[in-house]
A = this chain, B = another copy of it.
Amino acid sequence: MILALAGGVGGAKLAHGLTRILDPSELVIAVNTGDDFLHLNYFICPDLDSVLYKLAGINDTERGWGIRDETWNFMESLKKVGGEDWFQLGDKDLATHVERTRRLSEGQTLSEVTQALCLQHDVRHTIIPMTDHRVGTVVDTKDGDFFFQDYFVRLRCAPEFTGVHYKGMEDAVPAPLFNQALNSPDLQAIIFCPSNPFVSIDPILSIPGVSDAIRQTEVPIVAVSPIIGGRAVKGPAAKMMQELGLPVSATGIAEHYGDLIDGLVIDEQDASLSAQILPTGTGVQVTNTLMKSAEDEKNLAETALNFARLLSHREF
């Protein structure tokens, strides 16, 4: 069984590639919930939705987020009556948030709600929130601290990034199925999807017990670099690395994860960075990491799995 840690769009793509190779019983996808927030009375889980919509085959590939063939009549009308329109909510997407909020208010856990939404969308692979507790990723900047959506959507990542902390993390525990996967004797590898290390993967790693469990497990830990040719495919990862003084490259990613990972998958155009990364003790696999098609997603998933297999010296 493979455990994948994922954030939003990049994570969703690799997760989708993994689902084309692995059966539902062979894969658990644990998703960042640090970006989750209450907006207009709904509980919105951007990363869970990105993974859900992608696996359900209803994601919008042009826009990169939300649902395909979306309409915006709610949002346009809300704007007309002077409502809060800084966070775009499509008419179809809205239904997910409303139904999630209803189920949560009835006392269901986020894991249970996510399972129900997967079922309704015929998604058979396991998508789970990293935790059922409410935690909030707070982006520390030179202009002050902001909840992720404020920083990302409202401020368009303009303030200079200095770090991240989490609200509510000290009381959080991994979601039951995530915990079970982390400690399962069937676990064969952990894949860090090419998501933002600071605001997508680190929140998952920051849940009390998760990093320790990952360090203690003997299975290979493979990360896929979200930085290609010195740029992030999407989002502020590159800007954040620069502002932190990290090399804006796969090398910086290797530096950031340090000895937590056993191997890093990097892009062909970054092949020369192997010489910088290998001496630190992290294995490197070079391949095409830019996922433009379902075929790219499957190929990258296959490469990451093979690389993990190689690192473990065990067949799975």
Residues of chain A having any CB pair with chain B under 8 Å: 40-42, 67, 70-71, 73-78, 80-84, 90-96, 98-99, 101-102, 105, 116-117, 120-121
Contacts and interface: CB of A to CB of B under 8 A. Distances in A.
Give the top 6 A-B pairs by smallest Cβ distance, nearest first. Answer: A77-B95, A73-B91, A78-B95, A83-B99, A77-B92, A41-B41
Contacts of A105: 41
A74 B294 CA distance: 28
B71 A84 contact: no
Contacts of A67: 77
A276 to B, nearest CB: 47
24 contacts: A41-B41, A41-B42, A41-B98, A41-B102, A71-B91, A73-B73, A73-B90, A74-B92, A74-B95, A75-B95, A77-B93, A77-B94, A78-B98, A80-B120, A81-B95, A81-B99, A81-B117, A81-B120, A82-B99, A82-B116, A83-B95, A84-B102, A91-B91, A94-B94
Nearest to A72: B91
Contact of A41 (B91, B92, B96, B101): B101
Instruction: State how many copies of this chain the complex holds.
Output: 2
Given A41-B41, A101-B41, A116-B82, A74 B74 contact: yes
Nearest to A94: B74
Interface of A is mostly: helix
A45 to B, nearest CB: 13
Contacts of A101: 40-41
A76 B120 CA distance: 13
A90 B71 CA distance: 12
A42 B41 CA distance: 8
A75 to B, nearest CB: 8
Given A41-B102, A81-B121, 12 more contacts: A41-B41, A71-B73, A73-B90, A73-B91, A74-B92, A75-B95, A77-B95, A78-B98, A81-B95, A82-B120, A83-B102, A94-B94
A70 B76 CA distance: 12
Contacts of A102: 40-41, 83-84
